[in-house]
Homo-oligomer: A and B are copies of this chain.
Amino acid sequence: MKSHPGTQEIEQKLIAGLREKGYKLTSQRLEIIKLLSHDRSHPGAMDILEKVRQKAPKISMSTVYYTLEMLKKEGLIGELEFYDKDNRYDVNVSNHINLICKECGKIEDFTRELPFSSEVIEELTGFRPVGIRFEYYGYCKGCRDKRKR
């Protein structure tokens, strides 16, 4: 597992954000937050359930979804939605581009200045953006290397 900078900070940010809004910090929520802060592979709900069960064996899928929904609603995590595979969750809530491998499903962040600001879009089209979704679909280095062998 690649280690990311600021794992600890993100964990604290999520906990603080949750308390700030008056939510209770239950053991289930704490484990989910710890996992999300630490595991930056954009896990799905089932991934999260399985990994959190190693710490909290009795947690249910309903709770995972309920908690993710809450964190999402409060803007503390982002959700990437797919119709043909399970949704994926990410503590990186900044506007960024996702690189999605069509072979292994891995999602990498590609953080760069984005081309068209909301203001520019609205000026040109009359459409007022409030959120974005920028993705490249393709093949990650790992999968391409495997194929070459």
Taking Cβ atoms with an 8 Å cutoff, the residues of A that contact B are: 81-84, 87, 97, 99, 101-102, 108, 110, 112, 114-116, 118, 121, 124-141, 144
How close is A97's CB to chain B, nearest CB, in angstroms? 7
B141 with A136: CB separation less than 8 A: no
Q: Which 5 pairs across A and B sit closest by C-beta, in order of nearness?
A: A126-B141, A129-B136, A115-B115, A129-B138, A81-B83
How close is A40's CB to chain B, nearest CB, in angstroms? 15
Q: How distant is the Cα of A128 from the Cα of B112 in the complex, in angstroms?
A: 17
Q: How distant is the Cα of A77 from the Cα of B112 in the complex, in angstroms?
A: 30
Given contacts A83-B87, A112-B115, A126-B140, 8 further A-B contacts (CB under 8 A): A99-B121, A99-B129, A110-B125, A110-B127, A115-B115, A121-B136, A127-B140, A134-B135
Oligomeric state, in copies: 2
Q: How distant is the Cα of A99 from the Cα of B86 in the complex, in angstroms?
A: 24
Q: Which of A102, A118, A129 has the most CB of B within 10 A?
A: A129
Q: Which of A81, A126, A144 has the most CB of B within 10 A?
A: A126
- By a CB distance below 8 angstroms, the chain B residues around A125 are 99, 108, 110, 141
Q: Which of B101, B114, B121 contacts A115 (CB 8 A)?
A: B114
Residue in chain B with minimal CB distance to A131: B137
Residue in chain B with minimal CB distance to A106: B127
How close is A12's CB to chain B, nearest CB, in angstroms? 29
